[in-house]
Structure 1
Amino acid sequence: MTKCFYDFYHIAKCFSDWLTHIYHMAKCFSDWLTHIYHMAKCFSDWLTHIYHMAKCFSDWLTHIYHIAKCFSDWLTHIYHMAKCFSDWLAVLQFPAALLLVLCVGLAHASGLNPGHWSEPQPVPVCVPPARRGGEGRSKRAVGGRVALNVPWQALVHFGDSVLDGGIGGGALVSDRWVLTSGRNVFQKKPRQPAPKRLPDFPKVYLGVKNRNPVDPASEVEVEKVVLHPDFQNISTWENNLALIKLKKPVVFSSKILPIPLPRCGQNLEETVGTLGVLAGWGWSHVYQFADHLKFLTVPVVSQELCQREYKHGGEVDGDEPLVDDRTFCTGATAFSENVCVGDEGGALAVLDPKDGRVYAAGLLSYDKNCATEKYGVYAKLSAYMPWIDSVMRGDSELYDAQRALEVRKMLANLKED
């Protein structure tokens, strides 16, 4: 009996030790859960702290955005104020510039020769006195005055930015033909002599003054583009000419008129100081294409001065225009303005004092001078009249050979008689 009681005691003690062990295990698990809870609470507090930091950063960024937007709106307001002021000045300057051109024409007709300086004195340019004759560049504005009506002006359009192909000028020279620069008929402008490729078909608008927005009804359909056969033979700007044929003849009006091309003996572009008028939508003071058509009154300068300015002309690496006997140059206006990007392809209109006839003396080929280079470079149209006439007549080498054959036959018959 005593042995049984002793065995029962040991069993009870083992069971008690087991329960104690279970209790300690449960307590350890409870402590572990408590530790996990505190860790989770710390992590939750850390996430809450991160959230508040992110929210503060977001509020700070929002504040910065609103400050930047206010500054941007302020700059836009300043830009529009400056643009309005520039256009207002341009409108005021238009009568003065028109009077200047008329006075020059009348003075020439009466035997005077205003605006003409004997060589080698250059056309004056508005620069500080300390820099006259120096090597530095005058920082001229690229502007112009609002044009009231330039009926021969054409807008040659690929896109509203230079990345999209940009815009250029052109001159209506008949009811079916627009004369422009060779580079204006390529969406991706060729910058140097490259393998010959076919020109693109730009959009052409006539009778427009506003580029932005442009009236879609003023677009004329293009039938074909004829590039000068010697375009970019050795330099970017060489023989920079193209003719655009329209699908249908345009109807002439006060807003759409062709400009005559030079006749034999008309060479005002060879007289230093001759004033010409060039219109276009080239870059303005803020280096964006102008919304409204503007014009410049620019003087012809001597070939020697222009050749010295572009002494590396014809060299591809120099990317400068070649100034030769088929080109001429103009300087800045009386208001220190000059041609700029987007004016290329525009015609320089001059007034012949002998008969009061206006004609296109040149086509702007190099318009990249802006406020960097001194002179704009033009293709002298009198030097290209044989090519222009042959294209507009629809001539070809076959036709030339046929005409020559017929004349030789007639001359041969004359000799026989």
Structure 2
Amino acid sequence: MRIKRILATTAALTCLAALPACKGDGQAAPPGASASSAAPAGAADEGALAEAQRYMRQFTGCEDLGTKPDDPRMPRGDFPKIGQWSVIEVGVCRDGGGQGDIAIAVPKDMKAFQAGYKQYVMDRISGGDGAYGLFSNVLVGKGFAAFPTSSKTAMALLRSDMRVLVCNPGGRVPEGYKREKPLVEGCGLTDFFAAEDGSGSPNFETPQDPAGGGEKLGQPKTGSLGLARAGSIAELRKLVGNSLDCEKHFSTDPEAVAIESIDYQPAVKGNALDWGITGRALCGQPAGAQRAVNLSWLDTVGDMKKLQTRAKAAQQADLKDDGKLKATVSMLLVGENIAVETNSPSARFGLYQLQFLYLNCVPGFSAPSGYRLEKAQVEGCVLTNYEPEHPVR
């Protein structure tokens, strides 16, 4: 939910569509490096790992370089083995100052490496992990890539010509950070390091946290980074078509809209007009011969303050039971003049990319760096794309 306008996310790292510098001859150089200084795509020198170590030690620690596959510091899982993504050498060193390790991969062909990483991200997204790669720790340098385990290490390395490679199309670079062209389409290179725990690069686009008490350096006190809007239910249905089950299963019939199930309950209860809602529709398959599937509700809103006031009261009543919101009750995501009610985390992830934000009225709530956090129209609530139970990874 890192993206201080990040995830909000505008889902727009489609705009990050650019990372390490790409030269006309197909050779890769780090941002800022000249074409003549770029190492040609080819077999790495025998001392490529040592050269990468020497380069990184100008900016942070990189001690005890090891190359053995059984080195316990060598990452597992999301790290290429020799032969993958054109990688011909791997190693790992320790950054004592950053209190973490740095895995190093030397590819024979940097473009093939970036293409391999992009395909890996796309495969993870297709497998249901839609947020994978938003918080990338893949830093591309001259002829090598580094995978730091510490945010402090990553940010130190970004003082160099190294850049973060981001290939999730939902990623985005805040104002004030670099956006540079990669060697593959659909990715981006940036000096913005997004960390889920808030320890990454500072993002000064997010408005002041209204529940945090006091100003936050560099953040405006008021305003919004932009919210979704639509002129009608039909426009809203089209807007959310890729996030919700609205294309084939959609109804504005009052009886159908009033349907709910034990698994899918709307945020809006009773007469929708009393909530400031002017139009309402149901997406998904209502219970019939089988159990209901993927129910969500679309709303056009004539009085957003009234809607948020009623939603706040409903959340507070829900919290009185056990201090938690019911998982089967839909969360209310709002735009400028529209709203969507859904209890599907994956659907909400897509809606955050469309500039919807969740109305959160839980006392003491705050969001880590990189997530959007804006003032709601009622006291005691905020608009955000951060969900503690379903953080973006």
What is the TM-score when the length of structure 1 is the normalising length? 0.21
RCO higher in 1 or 2 (8 Å CA, sep ≥ 6)?
2
TM-score (norm 2): 0.22
- Structure showing greater radius of gyration is 1
